[in-house]
Amino acid sequence: MRRSRWALAAVAISIAACGADSNREADSPGLGRCVRDSDCPTGLVCLEQACVADDGQEPEKPDPRTFLPPASSGNHVFALSPDANSVAVIDPLRLEVQAIPLPAEPLDLAVVPGEDAILVLSRAGAALSLLSLGDDEPRLAIRKLPRRLPSLSLAPDASWAVVWTRDGQALDAGAEGLVLLVDVGKLREGADDAAIERVAGRRHTDVVFRTDASGAARDAVVVGKEEIAVFDLSDPASQPTPTRVELPATHAELATRRVAASPDGAFVLIASVVSPDLLVFDVEGHSLGTLALPAPPSDLALGAGGRLALLPLRSASQVAWFSLPEALTDTGSIRVADVSLPGSGCDVPGCHVAPGQARLSPDGAFALLFTSAQQAKSFGRLDLVTGDWRIFDRIRKEVRTIAIAPTGTHAIVLHRPRPDSTAADPYEREVDRAEGYSVVALESGAGQLVLTGQVPPLDAVYAEGSRYAAVSLRSDAARVFRLDSIDLETLVSAPLRLSSAPEYAGPLAPSLEGRIWVTQVHPAGRISFVDLAARSTKTLTGYELNGEIE
């Protein structure tokens, strides 16, 4: 294995002190409860029955979505209906839906770029299906697979697909580390040898495709717990085993690392909350190098088309950012700034906490920094050109996660409740204890808090155009299911009732400004199309019944 190292010029580290969070939750999602240090992932220690990093705080808790989202091509929305063993092909303009039967237990899909076509993976049927839409009847080609694997990744040029098992998913007959490389061209032709079985380490977390300047896929990269495996896609049938590159122990802990890749797959970055070394894997050269940071990164964000990397360094109250690939050979291009937020859970006057998570604006001009591991009713905006740091501290509730508008003009902050709040003011105490979200105009700093009682916000979505957004809310216990329409120009929100629990939401085509779709829990499948400007909803229910409009 070839290794190289890029050294980062030394920078001063200033650590902001703050009183310990006496309300730390004993159970950390993904880490579990601890009694001794050996109960924690390597590099973390047990403090007050929680696994904490070197700054005495739990690792940041990213807010991942757990629902399988539908996917959309230029003309259709595709939504799997596993209970009905079908996929719903939805025309959002005509409000028409057609249910197409699939092999049993469809559980993942990928849209073929540039086509009205999808690949669908069915586990129980051990099958990969290619569904193509045209002017005539849909065409469905089904190919049996030698394995029952649950995850599907498609190359950007749709030449190859990788069928694999994501860490945490059930293994097929206990066979760990197996992947299928599927030649999509042969799949279209009905060839028997379209799928190639290979092994690629164990406990896989990510699949990345490296493409060349023309956009053609050249390599498939499978990131596992202890190693990275690279398959040469020029002739994988002649490659019995992939090129394998081992990862250091500090970056083999899945609970404490972040993985991101450039859009062309040329570089894979792996950050660990227990190591100041950022791993940089050069896919074409099969070389693993490091960038030495002032402190362990608590998050990793890539933006501006993958040309910009940003890493909050929570234990040092700093953030580092740089352009790729320039920083790999010119460490002078790496910038570091001191950042901190006013703390809301400390008794110490002037207490500050360090942000540990980041969201990059679509153009890479700025980043919003926040923490979900410490008590802070604020977030900050870092200008990545000037280095200016601005704090937004009038949002009134603690931050769970943040979604930036595609225009970069607004942010929606989903809050977390503080049930044990002891605020002296009774009203502010109830505000602390409630669920809710805030809409913030980033230029003026104006914000609007929306309290949602015991109904937690599920997700935020921005419609095409620059004016409307929505927040989905769901409480199964209270039987409250709704979507809040938000006018970003006025910051006014209005609730829209949903017939059943929302699952996932997304924008419709660019020509349909101000409109979104939202899938809902229903045994026969349900999707709603929402005009946020008109505050109107049209719902299609019963995919296998070809849709009933409500």
Q: How many CB atoms lie within 10 A of CB 191?
A: 12
47 domain residue, yes or no: yes
Helix/strand/coil for 139 = strand
pLDDT of residue 238: 93
Which is nearest to 216 in space by CA: 153, 157, 282, 160?
Answer: 157
Residue 185 in contact with residue 165, Cβ under 8 Å?
A: no
> Is 29 inside any structural domain?
yes
Please indicate, yes or no, if residue 544 is contained in any of the structural domains: no
pLDDT in tens, 334-364: 999 999 999 876 666 678 899 999 999 999 9
What pLDDT is recorded for position 94? 77
Give whole-number Cα distances, 406 to 89, 122, 362, 410, 438, in Å: 27, 34, 6, 9, 17
Q: Which pLDDT value is given to residue 544?
A: 52
What are the residues whose beta carbons fall under 8 Å from the beta carbon of 329, sequence distance 6 or more?
Answer: 6
End-to-end Cα separation, the chain, in angstroms: 60
Tens-digit pLDDT profile for residues 506-529: 888 788 899 998 988 887 778 889
Q: How confident is the model at residue 216 (pLDDT cuts 50, 70, 90)?
A: very high
Please give the pLDDT value at position 30. 52
Q: 29 pairs with which residues across the strands?
A: none
The number of beta carbons lying within 10 Å of the beta carbon of residue 3 is 10
Alpha-carbon gap, residue 144 to 158, rounded angstroms: 19
In a domain, 225, yes or no: no
| Cis peptide preceding 29, ω within 30 of 0 | no
Average the pLDDT over 452-459 and give the result: 94
The residue among 306, 333, 409, 414 whose CA lies nearest residue 366 is: 409
Least confident of 54-63, 154-163, 377-386: 54-63
Higher pLDDT, 114 or 155: 155
User: Can you tell me the distance from the alpha carbon of 501 to that of 473, in angstroms, rounded to the nearest whole number?
Assistant: 8
Query: Model confidence at 170, in pLDDT bands (50, 70, 90)?
Result: confident
Cα separation, 298 vs 314, in Å, equals 6
Owner of token pair 């499948």: 525
Question: What is the reported pLDDT for 524?
Answer: 75
Q: Tell me, yes or no, whether 287 lies in a domain.
A: no
Separation of alpha carbons 85 and 333, rounded Å? 52
* Dihedral over Cα of 314, 273, 279, 12: its sign: positive
Per-residue pLDDT, 99: 83
Cα(20)–Cα(17) distance, rounded to whole angstroms?
9
pLDDT given at position 494 = 97
Which residue type, as a one-letter code, is found at position 327? A
If you write DSSP's letter for every residue of 142-198 in order, what string do you get?
A: EEE-SS---EEEE-TTSSEEEEE-BTTSPPBTTB-SEEEEEEHHHHHHT-TT-EEEE
Cis peptide before 325 (omega within 30 of 0): yes
> What's the pLDDT band for 549 if we cut at 50, 70, 90?
very low
Query: What is the average per-residue pLDDT within 240-258?
Result: 94
pLDDT tens, position by position, 118-165: 999 998 768 999 999 877 788 898 999 988 999 999 999 999 999 999
Domain that holds residue 46: 20-52
The residue with greater pLDDT, 545 or 47, is 47
SS (H, E, C) 443-495: CCCCEEEEEEECCCEEEEEECCCCCEEEEEEEECCCCEEEEEEEECCCCEEEE
Rounded Cα distance between 126 and 134, Å, is 26
The SS3 assignment for 61 reads: coil
Res. 196: pLDDT tops 50: yes
Query: What mean pLDDT is predicted for residues 77-84?
Result: 78
Residue 133 CA to residue 251 CA, distance in Å, equals 43
Q: What percent of the chain has pLDDT over 90?
A: 64
Instruction: Report the percentage of the chain scoring pLDDT > 70.
Output: 90
* H helix runs in 214-289, sequence order: none
Instruction: Report the distance separating Cα 217 and Cα 409, nearest Å.
Output: 35
Please name which of 360, 422, 428 lies closest in space to residue 397, comparing C-alpha atoms.
428
For the chain, give the mean pLDDT: 87
Residue 22 pLDDT greater than 80, yes or no = no
Q: Does residue 44 sit within a domain?
A: yes
Q: Count structural domains, the chain.
A: 1
Q: What is the DSSP letter of 204?
A: B
Distance CA 501, CA 518 (A): 10
At 87-106, the pLDDT tens digits run 888 887 777 778 889 999 89
Q: Is residue 434 part of a domain?
A: no
**Token pair for residue 98?**
């057609």
Structure tokens at 344: 């809301």
pLDDT at 546 over 70: no
Domain membership of residue 467 (yes or no) is no
At residue 346, the pLDDT reads 66
* Phi-psi domain of 94 (left: phi exceeds 0; alpha: psi -120 through 50; beta: other): alpha
d(CA 83, CA 86): 8
Query: Is the pLDDT confidence value at 64 over 60?
Result: no
CB-CB contact of 469 with 486 (8 Å): yes
Length of the chain: 550
Q: Which residues contact 391 (CB under 8 A, 6 or more apart)?
A: 341, 342, 378, 379, 380
Please tell me the predicted confidence (pLDDT) of residue 18: 36
